[in-house]
Structure 1
């Protein structure tokens, strides 16, 4: 990952911890997607998975979304940030539950005040597999410490 993007991911990890890390709730933050598969292009987004110890509050999700709106896209890379609660995905079960999702394709809804809600997400299966294979912690232990294989 280029140094500029590493600085950006460090900033995103700090942002996530500022909003979600009450009492050590952020267990790990992991890069995945094109940055770990060797296909990072000039307009690729930064894909991050956050593993949490417990569910978020509405206020936490609202504040995190507001801050991500200010840092995603624009002059920097767009951000795709997904959070899961460890006990919702370990042990593995289907359908997995996603705690939070931020992505630029949802920007219009977020700008109108929508706040991401927890929901079942079958697309987490390939994402968690990618995170485990990439083994790219930005914060916390290796992902296999917190996640089970799908």
Structure 2
């Protein structure tokens, strides 16, 4: 059984429709479509996860192409799963740099910006040129380790190997944000912090679900009840899980102190 065949029929259908629409919009310019994130690592949660994708194009996208892409993903994303996708052209992958440049990006965070541009026929966010994204170092590393090629050349032949220092910089940046946001978004932040802790401690690249199980087995027993609640909340449809500030701060301080010791 292929990795794609392990997806639910619904997810497989969504991926197929995205591939079909990208082929229509980009035509011969589509060089490859790749899956990373929880979907590639077997930890996709229909109630919590994004569909994480990377697209490689042969050349730069025009403003008109970006408008078509934005229009499509505004319709496709959150129907029913949020889509996070980045487009990188081959030239941008030739000589690796961190943060990595990209052509076009869609996530729900960008929804209002693109709706604004499309409604007013402006190009404030859909203009020519490209940006850079430090998260791409992590996405491409995950691709090399656990990614799935939907169409196009194999991952190893398409994407450069990201230096360890750039991958670490990418995930530690997210880790630092989680230190401040743990009370605001406890499930994502705790699982992400465990994932980073596991990587710096043992070099393992994991999904949030895998990190939760590792945390339960390896973190101190006094943190077990918190980690158990986190896993239960992540693996269920619950959106109203309650956590005490003290338990979140106790967890944060333990993991942060240990990551700092390892990295110092």
Q: TM-score, normalised by structure 2?
A: 0.53
Counterpart for residue 143 of structure 2: 131
CA distance in 1 between partners of 2:147 and 2:36 (Å): 8
1:2 to 2:2 alignment: no
Is the contact made by 2:87 and 2:103 (CA closer than 8 Å) also made in structure 1? yes
CA RMSD, aligned part only? Answer: 1.5
> 2:59 is paired with a residue of what secondary structure?
coil
Q: Measure how far apart 1:25 and its partner are.
A: 1.5
Is the contact made by 1:135 and 1:142 (CA closer than 8 Å) also made in structure 2? no
- Structure 1, residues 31-51: CA drift from partner, whole Å, max 9, x if none? 111101121001311111001
Counterpart for residue 62 of structure 1: 67
Q: Measure how far apart 1:61 and its partner are.
A: 0.3
- Aligned CA distance change for structure 1 residues 135 and 123 (closer, same or farther; 3 Å): closer
Tell me which protein shows more strand as a share of its residues: 1
Tell me which protein shows more helix as a share of its residues: 2
Counterpart for residue 26 of structure 2: 20
With a CA cutoff of 8 Å and minimum separation of 6, indicate the structure with the bigger relative contact order.
1
Counterpart for residue 11 of structure 1: 17
Superposition pairs for residues 1-150 of structure 1, below 5 Å? 1-21=7-27, 24-43=28-47, 44-74=49-79, 76-113=80-117, 114-115=125-126, 118-150=130-162
CA distance in 1 between partners of 2:35 and 2:44 (Å): 12
Q: Tell me, which stretches of 5 or more residues in structure 2 are unaligned?
A: 1-6, 118-124, 163-264
Q: Measure how far apart 1:15 and its partner are.
A: 1.2
Q: Tell me, which stretches of 5 or more residues in structure 1 are unaligned?
A: none
CA distance in 1 between partners of 2:41 and 2:155 (Å): 16
How many residues end up aligned between the 2 structures?
A: 147
Q: Measure how far apart 1:58 and its partner are.
A: 0.4
CA distance in 2 between partners of 1:141 and 1:134 (Å): 16
Q: Measure how far apart 1:59 and its partner are.
A: 0.4
**Greater shift after overlay, 32-41 or 12-21?**
12-21
**Greater shift after overlay, 11-20 or 84-93?**
84-93
Is the contact made by 2:88 and 2:102 (CA closer than 8 Å) also made in structure 1? yes
Q: Measure how far apart 1:65 and its partner are.
A: 0.3
CA distance in 2 between partners of 1:57 and 1:80 (Å): 20
- Structure 1, residues 59-108: CA drift from partner, whole Å, max 9, x if none? 0001110111111114x211111110122122322332111100012111
